[in-house]
Chain A
C-alpha cells in the first residue's frame, strides 16, 4: 500500500510543480494583466477593482501563489473574462469530451498495436515483419499536423464522416441507438487521426520489447521444455515484457494528450484544445491555467493507472512493496 501512496505523492508533487510553473509563466506577461483588460470595454472598472483586490496583484509572488492554491483547494479555478463565468465548470465540460476522445484513442491504439507488435516480433526478420516495418516507417514520416489536415480534406470532400462537432443538430431527438451512432460518426475522424499518429511508434516499441524477450535464453529453455507456443508467447514472453510495456503505456498517455490538443483544434472537437487556444488568443489567463492543470491531472491519472497495472503484473514490485 505504501507503494501507491508514494506514487500518489509523486503525482501530487507533479501537479504542484506544474501549477507553480504555469503560475510563474503567467508572471512573465509584460505589464499588468489587468492593464490589458482595462482596454476591453466589456469589463467595467468596478469589476477590475474587485478583481485586483481579489487576486492581490500587487502582492509579491509567493503570496499570490499561496492564495491561488488556497482558492483551488476550495474548488475555484478563477474567472474567465471571455465567457463571463467561473473557469472550473467551463473546463470540466470540455475536459469530459477530451477524456472521451483520448480514452477511446488509447484503447484503440493499444488494441491494434499490441497484437501487431507481438505478431511482428514473432515473425521478426521475415517478409511479413519487414512489410509492417516499412508501413510503420511510412506513417512515421507523416507528422500529425499533416496527417490531421489530410484526413480532414479527404473527409470534407468525400462527405463520409462529419467534419466537426460532438454531435449533430437535433441530437436530443434521436433514439439511443442513433445517438450512439451519431456520436461514433463524429468521433471517427479525430480518433482515426490520433490513432494513426501514435500507432507506428507504439508498434515499433512493442515489437522491440517483445523481440528482446523472445531472444532471451530463459525463453529458449522454456521452449525446450516443450511448453506450447501460444502459452509461451502470452504466458511467458508477454509477462516478461510487461514492465517496459506498461512504462510505455504511461508514456503514451502523455503523447496522446498532446496529440489530442492539436487534433481537437483541427477537427473542431469541443474539448480542452479549442478552449485553450481561444483563451490564449483572448488573453483569458485563468482559463489557460485551468486547461493546463486539467491536462496534467489526466496525465497523472494515466500514469497512476500504469502504476496499478505494474503492481498487478510484476510480482517483484508486490514483494518490494510488501516488504516495507
Chain B
C-alpha cells in the first residue's frame, strides 16, 4: 500500500481563547490535521506545541496526560455517540476513563453540562436515537467539555445539521467559548460559517495552507484561487470583491 502524504508544510498557530477556522475542499487534509492535533493519529514529521510544551516529543504516558486538555467534537453524532449508552453515561464517560471523582460527583457534573448545552435533566437517561440531530451534537459538545479542556477541535461539527439547527448550535458554541474561555479549532468546508464564527481563517488545499489571515480580511479580499472558489460556494457571504473569475 502506498503511503499518502496528507499534510506537507502546514504551519500555523492558534491563540488562546480565539477561534481559528481551517477551511478547505474535501481531500485537503483538514480532518487529518484535526486527528493529528487531537493525538489520534501519529505524526510522521513535524512538531506540535501546546501550552509551551512540545507534544510530539513526549512519550505515550506524557501524551496521555495532555489528552484531557485537547478534546474533539466529531462531525456525525450518530456515529460518535455509542447508541447503547444513555446521554448521562456518554457525558460522564470521560470522567470515568480518567478516573476522576466518585460516581455521584461524575453524575452531577454530567447533569450540569447537559443543562448548559440546553438538555434538561429528565432527558439524561435517554439513548441517542431518541434525540434529534441537533440535540445529539449538543450531547457531543457537553461530553467534549466535561474534562475542562483548553482546546476544542470541532471537526465539521455543524456540517451534518440542518441549517436552522446549525445557527442554534453555533450560538451555543460562542456562548460556551465566552463563559468557559475556550480555544476553538474549527474545521469546515463552509467559508460562510467560518466567517461567522472565527477570528482567524486558514485555507487549505491538498495538504498545504495556501492563505491565512483575520477572518474578515480573508473573506473581503481573498488572495488564493481556492479561497475564491470556496467563497463562491458559500451562500450569504457579502463580499464587495466578489466577481466571476476564471476558475
Touch test A–B (CB under 8 Å):
no
Which B residues contact A (CB, under 8 angstroms)? none
| Interface of A toward B, CB cutoff 8 Å | none
